[in-house]
């Protein structure tokens, strides 16, 4: 008997820890009959269908999420044609809420595993394995939705006895490692399915430390914790942060989703000690509108969050990723702009502008009609418009989102943007104008190449701040060489021909290898944003050396050194 657990991931670098956990928890004997298959949403459905067919499974289980549900539904239409005797099972958050309706829609489905899957799947595998040897019926397997109805609810498993998923790292080469030390969330955010699990269970801390050491010993590049609110239990978070601090291998990066407003001084003090690049913190702010926070059942002290983010930033060692959600109740376009400006000024390395997804089973799904929230009927169930936010507003925000991704989250314009912001009422207004500029020029349809985006931003800056156009040229030159040691120079950058002898002399004096560094002359003090804002300019050229052998672990910027012109 072969049971094929199947995942269709959003990208190749992603993995699906759910199917690995189901197989691991099934136990050694049952595990022999379980095979795993992972694909991506970018593969043609016929290609996936052909591979499943060649594996000849007796039963197949699909792990269903909003990003792959479209492909899974296509496979449900075609699989019975080529594998008429294979029994099909579904599981995952996308099918747990309305399982009975899905059974009516798809006659080929044998049943659906509802909610947490490890114990349910082990019982299901026992049913297939021991069928005929002893009385065993599907109705006796807990946690299922069958055509005859729901079976008894499955009790939550002891989270500490679930086996470690990564003893063999071979399947995860060049892929993100997802790791879980807690399940559930103490918060009740109405847009999130994690709020349905009202209990939080933690993995035994000594077990966690052993598993972390495994990642460290194998120099795994990144471990992404999927705990919904990693620091909801202070002692648990502190022990893990202390452990990775004491056992840092200089390579591995750990990503955590946290609630920043509940951080205490000792937690921040510990975070400030970590090696630059050791940790990434993702912080869901979502909105700063008090009425909106109340409507989504989110109890958050935004002033304290802001102070704690500032305290973390002072350490200059933690990559910060802050999230906003557009389309929430009581938040109109102007209110969202206010939320954006306040979060932007917290200066995260990444600012994620997302859009409300009305997930089946969430409180938001139940309240959508009352709030006048209209959304896509198919995945990702993203908001179209609300009582407060028109569809036109949503489209405008989509343009702003793309500008933020290209010009802020890329970390390629870290010196140009702060100067350009001063021309507008605020950051939101700047990105709004930039999005309108892109629409006018047709760049949303024909997106400029990466290096040409510097030229585009120069054109944009020249339209709104023509008097400082020469300074923007040098700011963009500085930003560009901080990121890349270019072989050819874009047209907006000054000609280096008059400087070749001086640059050659400086390189010889510094004894630097030309391919690893770059020297550029500047009239403006582009490394000092505040000086640029005041219009400061140097009489003589100042030379800056960019060293590409030394990069900032948070921004990946090259080390930049102002050179002395004195003969040594």
- Rounded mean pLDDT, 84-109: 95
φ, ψ for residue 105, nearest 5 deg: -70, -35
Q: Quick one: fold of 3-150?
A: Rossmann fold (3.40.50)
Q: Domain 163-396: state its class.
A: alpha beta
Give the per-residue pLDDT at 134: 60
Residue count of the chain? 568
pLDDT, tens digit (0-9, with 9 covering 90-100), for 451-471: 899 999 999 999 999 999 999
Residue bearing tokens 């209110």: 335
CB 112 within 8 Å of CB 95: yes
pLDDT in tens, 367-397: 999 999 999 999 999 999 999 999 999 999 9
Same fold, 3-150 and 163-396: no
Which helix (H) or strand (E) segment holds residue 475: the answer is helix 469-483
The two tokens of residue 155 are 């009790």
Strands (E), 479-522: 517-522
* pLDDT tens string 109-145: 999 999 899 999 999 999 998 875 665 788 989 999 9
- Of the pLDDT bands very low, low, confident and very high (cuts 50, 70, 90), residue 565 is low
Q: What is the pLDDT of residues 314-333, one digit of tens each?
A: 999 999 999 999 999 999 99
Q: How many CA atoms lie within 13 A of 269 on its CB side?
A: 3
Find the mean pLDDT for residues 498-515: 86
The tokens for 365 are 């799904």
Residue 137 burial class via C-beta count within 10 angstroms: exposed 0-12, middle 13-18, buried 19 and up: exposed
pLDDT of 539 strictly over 90: no
The beta-strand segments (E) located in 332-373 are 350-355
Given a contact cutoff of 8 angstroms between Cβ atoms, the answer to whether 544 and 478 are in contact is yes
Torsion from C-alpha of 421, 427, 431, 437, nearest 10 degrees: -40
| Model confidence at 567: pLDDT above 60 | no
pLDDT above 50 (res 516): yes
| Stated pTM of the model | 0.92
Q: At 196, is the pLDDT very low, low, confident or very high (cuts 50, 70, 90)? A: low
Q: Is 357 helix (H, G, I), strand (E, B) or coil?
A: strand
pLDDT of residue 562: 92
Is the confidence at residue 202, as pLDDT, over 70?
yes
Domain ranges of the chain: 3-150, 163-396, 471-562
The strand ranges marked E within 462-516 are: none
Once rounded to an integer, what is the mean pLDDT over residues 154-165?
92
Mean pLDDT of 482-489: 90
Q: What average pLDDT does range 420-425 have in this prediction?
A: 96
Residues 327-353: tens digit of each pLDDT: 999 999 999 999 999 999 999 999 999
Distance CA 426, CA 341 (A): 7
Q: Looking at residue 133, what is its pLDDT?
A: 63
Residue 310 is predicted with a pLDDT of: 98
pLDDT more than 70, % of the chain:
98
Return the higher-pLDDT residue of 538 and 33: 33
> What pLDDT score was predicted for residue 135?
59
Q: Name the 3-class secondary structure at 30.
A: helix
Q: Phi/psi zone of residue 300: left (φ > 0), alpha (ψ -120 to 50 degrees), beta?
A: beta
pLDDT averaged over every residue in the chain: 93
CA distance 550 to 559: 6
Q: Above 90 in pLDDT, residue 534?
A: no
Sheet containing 222-225: order of strands: 177-179, 222-225, 253-258, 279-286, 319-326, 350-355
**Alpha-carbon torsion 255, 261, 267, 268, what sign?**
positive
């Amino acid at each position: 008997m072969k049971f094929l657990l199947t995942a269709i991931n959003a990208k190749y670098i992603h993995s699906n820890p759910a199917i690995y956990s189901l197989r691991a928890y099934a136990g050694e004997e049952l595990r022999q009959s379980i095979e795993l298959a992972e694909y991506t949403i970018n593969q043609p459905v016929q290609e996936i269908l052909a591979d499943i067919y060649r594996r000849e499974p007796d039963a197949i289980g699909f792990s269903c999420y909003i990003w792959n549900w479209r492909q899974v539904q296509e496979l449900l239409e075609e699989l019975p044609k080529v594998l008429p005797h294979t029994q099909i099972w579904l599981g995952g958050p996308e099918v747990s809420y309305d399982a009975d309706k899905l059974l009516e829609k798809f006659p080929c489905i044998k049943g659906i595993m509802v909610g947490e899957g490890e114990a349910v799947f082990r019982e299901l595998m026992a049913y297939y394995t021991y069928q005929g040897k002893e009385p065993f019926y599907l109705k006796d397997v807990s946690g299922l939705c069958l055509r005859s109805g729901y079976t008894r609810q499955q009790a939550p498993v002891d989270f500490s006895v679930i086996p470690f998923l990564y003893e063999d790292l071979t399947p995860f080469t060049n892929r993100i490692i997802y790791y879980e030390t807690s399940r559930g969330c103490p918060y009740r955010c109405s847009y999130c399915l994690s709020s349905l699990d009202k209990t939080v269970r933690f993995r035994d801390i000594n077990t966690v430390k052993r598993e972390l050491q495994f990642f460290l010993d194998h120099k795994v590049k990144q471990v992404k914790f999927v705990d919904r609110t990693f620091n909801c239990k202070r002692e648990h978070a502190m022990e893990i942060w202390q452990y990775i601090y004491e056992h840092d291998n200089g390579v591995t990066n750990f990503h955590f989703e946290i609630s920043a407003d509940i951080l205490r001084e000792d937690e921040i003090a510990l975070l400030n000690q970590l090696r630059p690049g050791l940790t990434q913190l993702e912080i869901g702010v979502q909105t700063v509108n008090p009425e909106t926070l109340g409507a989504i059942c989110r109890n958050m002290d935004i002033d304290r969050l802001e102070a704690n983010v500032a305290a973390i930033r002072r350490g200059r060692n933690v990559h910060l990723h802050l999230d906003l959600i557009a389309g929430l109740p009581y938040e109109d376009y102007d209110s969202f702009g206010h939320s954006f400006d306040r979060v932007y000024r917290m200066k995260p390395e990444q600012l994620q502008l997302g859009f409300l997804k009305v997930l089946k089973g969430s409180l938001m799904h139940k309240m959508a009609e009352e709030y006048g929230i209209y959304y896509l009927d198919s995945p990702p169930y993203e908001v179209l418009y609300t009582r407060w936010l028109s569809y036109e507003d949503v489209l405008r925000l989509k343009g702003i989102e793309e500008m933020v991704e290209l010009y802020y989250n890329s970390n390629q314009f870290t010196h140009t943007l702060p100067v350009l912001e001063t021309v507008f009422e605020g950051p939101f207004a700047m990105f709004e104008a930039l999005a309108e500029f892109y629409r006018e020029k047709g760049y949303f349809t024909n997106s400029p190449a990466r290096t040409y985006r510097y030229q585009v931003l120069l054109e944009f800056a020249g339209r709104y701040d023509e008097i400082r156009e020469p300074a923007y040229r040098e700011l963009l030159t500085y930003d560009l060489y901080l990121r890349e040691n270019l072989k050819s120079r874009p047209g907006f950058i000054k000609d280096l021909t008059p400087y070749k002898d001086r640059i050659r002399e400086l390189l010889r004096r510094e004894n630097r290898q030309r391919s690893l560094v770059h020297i550029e002359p500047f009239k403006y003090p582009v490394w000092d944003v505040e000086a640029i804002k005041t219009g400061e300019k140097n009489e003589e050229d100042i030379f800056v050396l960019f060293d590409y052998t030394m990069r900032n672990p948070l921004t990946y910027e090259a080390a930049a050194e102002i050179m002395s012109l004195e003969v040594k």
